[in-house]
């Protein structure tokens, strides 16, 4: 009696043995054998049918970001695989572990322009950590094992397994061994103690040290070590956008967000600091501004699991190649107990100006027509969820306002498209996040432009009863582009005004409760209604189209050259 099973069943069993119980996908001709075998494993491997492959991979990203697990997405060949490209690139930029499984024509047809054939491996190599085409059923299980190891070790990222039709249909014995080693690939380098000691010496001697906490802190589950180091050394912490929930919003050493729309204190004091400890961040141009003006007085210590990031943008005086949790733990154990009251107080002076000149106007506005501002809506929603929800954003003004005015108490509480800036990311990512951590509230803030890019994924909410709270910040504009047009293109609003559908009626068609909020007086009651239900809810909020997100460091300026409004640069005393 033969013990052989099909390559498709090998794939399913390997996914289950790897610990996968949730996958997102969309079937088609060349992946049909896999879906046929999946039919017999639905009690162990739960498949969520997206309405578009891009929606499927963004949902897998949201799942991965919320849980720390590897997200899995399945698509067919040709257009199905190609529709994953944006999500793969997004996952690569934001270090999100994804295993994407694509169907492919049978081996004998490769290179012959067969129906729905595309060169998936060549196309996806630039936007993945690894991509492989499997043509034999006996190679399926080893490919799965290696894919998961690569995707979620070292600096995480996406991988692709392209399965030829004969690899899916052919027969082989099922043998699965998890992958724990690949020659020449070292995802967890040993950090020499002398490097740690050099960093400790720089930190202990510093008068004005500043920690920059990036996404890598969250990926490494290094939040406790980060806080321990900051508290022991009394070192202020500034966060990149994706690093925001690495330290609670109300922690006294959390000085806010870095970068173009970041807070005054950490941006101004980046150029005052004498030592900067950058952890799991890549010195993105939105964080640094003009690099020739960046941190001129600081010794730079750069911690990262990916050595290719060292000196790529900002030259470091000391780089530490290692896992952020390990390195921060060692630093926290060795640095001296310190007090840096004057240095920390200097952030508060900038914060006071920002609160008075920007924040108060945004969260306590008095627009006469009752149209709301984004900051006030986000602030009220965050408070209604006790600053304890997972924030998911789309891209644009909704994103920048959300990360500024939403509060965080727990790790893994901010999910957004950082590096690639993918409009349409928010809705499917919020669905994946809620599926991954159903016990937590998931709140999506999204603009009317990005919402319509993947609006079809309301179907996934309807079919699987996913309790995402959607706050649509609707200004009938592509708001972020409009802001730039106003500031830098003489208010020539080219292709940014939008004629929108009736979003409440659309939500109703998908069985989703919804409410239009047209005036400020209606907002508080509408938020209470949204919070009171455990089901999905759409809040369509009438936003003042002239609302703009400030502070802002314009492109090409130094990180401390900051607009408080459309015409006035901040001049710190």
Q: Over the stretch 373-413, which tens digit does the pLDDT of each residue have?
A: 999 999 999 999 999 999 999 999 999 999 999 999 999 99
**Sign of the alpha-carbon torsion through 58, 61, 65, 67:** positive
The answer to whether residue 342 scores a pLDDT higher than 80 is yes
Could you tell me the pLDDT band of residue 2, with boundaries at 50, 70 and 90?
low
pLDDT digits (tens, 9 = 90+) for 518-554: 999 999 999 999 999 999 999 999 999 999 999 999 9
Q: How many CB atoms are closer than 10 A to CB 207?
A: 10
User: Tokens in use for 140?
Assistant: 């399926």
Eight-state DSSP code of residue 185: B
Q: What is the pTM of this model?
A: 0.97
The answer to whether residue 67 scores a pLDDT higher than 90 is yes
What confidence score (pLDDT) does residue 369 get?
85
CA distances from 189 to 196, 226, 280, 305, 322 (A): 14, 19, 15, 8, 5
The total number of residues shown for the chain amounts to 573
Q: How far apart are alpha carbons 121 and 105 in whole angstroms?
A: 13
What confidence score (pLDDT) does residue 370 get?
85
Q: How far apart are alpha carbons 57 and 47 in whole angstroms?
A: 13
Eight-state DSSP code of residue 452: T
Q: How far apart are alpha carbons 264 and 258 in whole angstroms?
A: 8
pLDDT digits (tens, 9 = 90+) for 278-304: 999 999 999 999 999 999 999 999 999
Question: Matching CATH topology for 193-347 and 368-542?
Answer: yes
3 vs 71 pLDDT, higher one: 71
**Sign of the alpha-carbon torsion through 118, 123, 125, 127:** negative
Q: Are 419 and 91 in contact (CB under 8 A)?
A: no
Q: What top-level class would CATH report for the domain 193-347?
A: alpha beta
pLDDT digits (tens, 9 = 90+) for 121-175: 999 999 999 999 999 999 999 999 999 999 999 999 999 999 999 999 999 999 9
Alpha helices in 18-161 (DSSP H): 32-38, 53-67, 79-82, 85-93, 120-124, 140-151
DSSP 13-59: HHHHHTT--EEEE---GGGHHHHHHHTT-TTTSEEEE-SSHHHHHHH
CATH architecture of 4-173: 3-Layer(aba) Sandwich (3.40)
The answer to whether residue 1 scores a pLDDT higher than 50 is no
Residue ranges per domain, the chain?
4-173, 193-347, 368-542
Taking residues 101-129, what's their average pLDDT? 96
User: Tokens in use for 379?
Assistant: 């602030």
Q: How far apart are alpha carbons 535 and 10 in whole angstroms?
A: 37
**What CATH number belongs to 368-542?**
3.40.50.970
Beta bridge partners of 477: 497
Torsion of CA 121, 126, 131, 135, to 10 degrees: 10
369 vs 500 pLDDT, higher one: 500
Residue keyed to tokens 């001697």: 205
């Amino acid at each position: 009696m033969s013990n052989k099973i099909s390559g498709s069943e090998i794939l399913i069993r390997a996914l289950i043995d790897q610990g996968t119980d949730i996958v997102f996908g969309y079937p088609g001709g060349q992946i049909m054998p896999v879906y046929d075998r999946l039919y017999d494993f639905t009690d162990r491997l739960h498949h969520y049918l997206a309405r578009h492959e891009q929606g499927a991979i963004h949902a897998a990203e949201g799942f991965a970001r919320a849980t720390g697990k590897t997200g899995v997405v399945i698509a067919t060949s040709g257009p199905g695989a190609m529709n994953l490209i944006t999500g793969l690139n997004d996952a690569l930029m934001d270090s999100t572990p994804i295993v994407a499984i694509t169907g492919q024509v049978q081996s004998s047809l490769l290179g012959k322009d067969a129906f729905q054939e595309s060169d998936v491996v060549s196309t996806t190599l630039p936007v993945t950590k690894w991509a492989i085409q499997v043509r034999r059923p006996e190679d399926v299980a080893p490919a799965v094992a290696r894919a998961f190891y690569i995707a979620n070790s070292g600096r995480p990222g996406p991988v692709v397994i392209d399965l030829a039709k004969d690899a899916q249909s052919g027969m082989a014995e099922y043998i699965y061994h998890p992958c724990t080693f690949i020659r020449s690939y070292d995802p967890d380098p040993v950090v020499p103690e002398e490097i740690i000691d050099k960093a400790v010496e720089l930190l202990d001697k510093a008068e004005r040290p500043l920690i920059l906490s990036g996404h890598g802190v969250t990926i490494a589950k290094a939040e406790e070590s980060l806080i321990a180091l900051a508290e022991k050394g009394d070192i202020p912490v500034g966060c990149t956008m994706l690093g925001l929930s690495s330290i609670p919003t109300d922690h006294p050493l959390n000085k806010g967000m870095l970068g173009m729309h970041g807070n005054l204190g950490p941006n101004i004091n980046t150029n005052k600091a004498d030592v900067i400890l950058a952890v799991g961040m890549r010195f993105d141009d939105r964080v640094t501004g003009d690099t020739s003006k960046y941190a001129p007085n600081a010794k730079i210590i750069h911690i990262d699991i990916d050595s290719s990031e060292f000196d790529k943008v900002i030259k470091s005086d000391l780089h530490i190649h290692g896992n952020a949790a390990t390195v921060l733990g060692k630093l926290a154990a060795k640095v001296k107990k310190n007090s840096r009251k004057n240095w920390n107080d200097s952030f508060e002076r900038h914060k006071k100006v920002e609160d008075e000149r920007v924040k108060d106007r945004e969260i306590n506005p008095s627009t006469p027509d009752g149209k709301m501002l984004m900051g006030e809506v986000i602030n009220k929603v965050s408070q209604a969820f006790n600053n304890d929800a997972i924030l998911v954003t789309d891209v644009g003004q909704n994103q920048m306002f959300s990360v500024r005015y939403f509060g965080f108490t727990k790790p893994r509480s901010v999910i957004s498209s950082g590096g690639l800036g993918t409009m349409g990311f928010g809705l499917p990512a919020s669905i994946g996040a809620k599926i991954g951590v159903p016990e937590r509230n998931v709140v999506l803030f999204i603009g009317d432009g990005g919402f319509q890019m993947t609006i079809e994924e309301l179907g996934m909410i309807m079919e699987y009863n996913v309790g995402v709270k959607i706050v649509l910040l609707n200004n009938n504009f592509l708001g972020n582009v409009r802001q730039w047009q106003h500031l830098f293109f003489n208010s020539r609003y080219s292709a940014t005004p939008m004629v929108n559908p009736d979003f409440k009626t659309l939500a109703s068609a998908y069985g989703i409760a919804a409410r239009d909020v047209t005036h400020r007086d209606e907002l508080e009651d509408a938020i209470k209604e949204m919070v009171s239900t455990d089901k999905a809810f759409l809040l369509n909020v009438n936003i003042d189209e002239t609302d703009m997100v400030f502070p802002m460091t314009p492109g090409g300026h130094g990180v401390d050259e900051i607009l408080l409004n459309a015409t006035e640069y901040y001049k710190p005393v």
